[in-house]
Amino acid sequence: MHNIESKNPVGRPKTLDRALLIDIAINEYWLHGINNVSLSKIANIAKVSRPGIYKEFSDEDGLKYEVITKYTDVLKTDVIPQYYKAKDVKTMYYHIYSTLGYPVDKKYFSGISKSKKVKKPIKAKGCLFEKSKLEKYKLNNKSINAIEAFEKIRKEAFMDFLNRMQKSNQITSSLKLDEVYDYFISQLSLAQSLDMNGSTKENIKRIIDTAFSSIVHPKYRLN
């Protein structure tokens, strides 16, 4: 068990380790879903008081906002640059495969595997951001704003990537770029939803491969 409140000489909680509490929340939200973990459970794991968490983060939405912000900051530094550098449509295949824990060729996409700031819990499924996005309608303003802010940054990177893929004839040039982007994002979300609902990795991979076959030139399809 973690104990993240330090003690003053008379044994009363003095300070709360903010960073460690955020890490605990990341693990729990990733394992169980951002809306399926009570503040009481996080307080119990961290051995801190609920009032202490409220004092540090204002409310539960404040803690979720910090979790999403920390995770998306890693995506900004570790994932977004991979899309700006990518020269092969295989990147988007391997991106989705990686969120499922499926073996990937890191030449095309390595995800957040090299990050020292966040580590995926052993039994966790999917991508914390994608899973949280699926439950966005249940979140409050701060958390929603954090998700939407990253979505704007991600869209710029993905649109740049997809535009280059079209120009190199890897993606069907007759398709509108906005529609290709929406289609790609929908496959990301679909993969997360299927994974969360117990579908096998192999089945999800087949579905994604079939879906991408409608936009990727036959010469460049992964399977």
How confident is the model over 65-82, as a mean pLDDT?
97
State the number of CA atoms in the 13 A half-sphere of 52 facing the CB.
20
> Which of 215, 211, 221, 208 has the alpha carbon at shortest distance from 173?
215
Residue 4 has pLDDT above 60, yes or no: no
Residue 3 has pLDDT above 60, yes or no: no
How would residue 45 be classed by pLDDT, with cut points 50, 70 and 90?
Answer: very high
Placement of tokens 């003690």 in the chain = 7
Which CATH fold would you assign to the domain 5-220? Answer: Tetracycline Repressor; domain 2 (1.10.357)
pLDDT in tens, 91-123: 999 999 999 988 899 999 999 988 989 999 999
Residue 165 has pLDDT above 70, yes or no: yes
Q: Encoding tokens for residue 184?
A: 């790609």
Find out whether 51 and 27 touch, Cβ atoms under 8 Å: no
Q: Which of 75-79, 110-114, 149-153 has the lowest mean pLDDT?
A: 110-114
How would residue 8 be classed by pLDDT, with cut points 50, 70 and 90?
Answer: very low
All structural domains of the chain with their residue ranges:
5-220
Return the DSSP state at 139.
Answer: S
Cβ atoms within 10 Å of 197's Cβ, excluding its own: 7
Q: Would you state the pLDDT for residue 16?
A: 84
Residue 182 has pLDDT above 90, yes or no: yes
Find out whether 118 and 74 touch, Cβ atoms under 8 Å: yes
Handedness of CA 143, 146, 150, 155 (dihedral sign): positive
pTM metric for this prediction: 0.90
pLDDT in tens, 18-31: 999 999 999 999 99
How confident is the model over 160-188, as a mean pLDDT?
96
Residue 132 has pLDDT above 80, yes or no: yes
Q: Would you state the pLDDT for residue 10?
A: 46
Q: Would you state the pLDDT for residue 9?
A: 45
Residue 150 has pLDDT above 70, yes or no: yes
> Which of 106, 120, 111, 102 has the alpha carbon at shortest distance from 195?
102
